[in-house]
Amino acid sequence: MLHYASGAPAYDVFQVVENQLARQRLFSVHHDYIKPLRRWVEDVRAGIHTFQDQLKRTPSLTGKLARSDKRMRTALAERGRDPSSWVPYEEALLALSDRLGPGYPRLIMLDSGAFTDWGKGRSSAVSDVVRSYQDFFNLAADLFDEVFLINLDAIPGAKGRDPTPDQLKRAVEVSDENFEILKAAFPNNYVLPVFHQGEHHARLDEVVAMADGYICLSPNNDEPQKAREEWALFYNTYAHGTQCHGLATTGNRMMRISGLYSGDSTSWKTHGGNGAIDVRFDTAWDGTPEAALTLPVYRNVHVAIERNSHDGKRVLPSSSKHITELSSFEKSHITKRAEQYLPFPMVQLDRRAMSIVSLGEIQSVAEAK
């Protein structure tokens, strides 16, 4: 499965190596995220394709990173760790960048931001989405191999309330109207219509007929994970001959059983906020082989130096999932996997370093399917 890393660009010192690592990206053109997206495209167009390029463009970054190194060594010392174990940011990022080689994601999906507006009690105008998509093309030109556009699908009802039959019917009509408008505005690009969990399978026939062989399946996030997985498997199979992209669908079992052509999620970014990373395993936790159908998988591990009691008001994994509570095999495996990307002390202290590891590991598992 192709993994589309979803989320707005961070525009920080890790962004270039993130670009080199991610092969596909999904971006929202919602007005809350358009400014960092524009800056991201401008950097790619300017040829900032390695961390060395970034240093040449911004020489003052060296001093900024040196000050960050000093803070991190202090943090290590305060936690009883050897401060000399800290590998400087510049050295670590240059090493990762050199291993990855120059590059940036070549396959892009653009999302209308309709769900963001809906969550705030607003609706998106198709004219605004056309304008935002067009602005992206005007800026990006021929930078990318393919840019897929997700339809502005109308979401019926209000958040927290079940829609009425009339609202469902009207939402489908508006979604189809928006699809035709977007297809007319962007005749040379795939516009992906969306089929939602809860809609009748006859609606999938209509969605498939509208598309150019590529559609989005949207599982209901309010449903239990197993129900979402089984729904995706059924309708991906039902849509035989059509490529299906799953929206927010990079769970292990979802990737393993659904057969989706592609999927996206923000989990690679959000898990680091809880002090955790995702780590690929090709064996069971104890190092013994598992059934071939269950491997590889990624597992979420709490690696932050701070255990739960030191992380303020964040909702964190239980202490039993902290790396210090794991077996020697697990500790060794997790450390080795993380250090394919960045030094482990950095991964334990810097949440963005955590996101880089998770991106690489989830992408690795997705592509193994």
Q: Measured between alpha carbons, how far is 242 from 190 in angstroms, rounded to an integer? A: 13
User: Dihedral of CA 192/196/197/203: which sign?
Assistant: negative
Residues 6 or more apart whose Cβ sits within 8 Å of residue 90: 55, 61, 62, 65, 66
- β-pairing, 146-150 with 107-111? parallel
* Structure confidence at residue 317 (pLDDT): 54
* Structure confidence at residue 160 (pLDDT): 63
Across the beta sheet with 191-192, what order do the strands follow? 191-192, 146-150, 107-111, 24-28, 2-6, 262-265, 243-246, 214-218, 194-196
Domains and CATH numbers, the chain: 2-49+103-268 (3.20.20.105), 275-369 (no CATH)
| Per-residue pLDDT in tens (0 to 9) along the chain, 369 residues | 999 999 999 989 999 999 999 999 999 999 889 999 999 999 999 999 999 999 999 999 999 999 999 999 999 999 889 999 999 999 999 999 999 999 999 999 999 987 776 667 677 889 999 999 999 999 998 999 999 999 999 877 666 677 788 888 888 999 999 999 999 999 989 999 999 988 888 999 999 999 999 999 999 888 899 999 999 999 999 999 999 999 999 999 999 899 999 999 999 999 998 899 999 999 776 666 555 446 799 999 999 987 554 444 555 555 677 898 899 999 999 999 999 999 999 999 999 999 999 999 999 999 996
Q: Measured between alpha carbons, how far is 45 from 214 in angstroms, rounded to an integer? A: 28
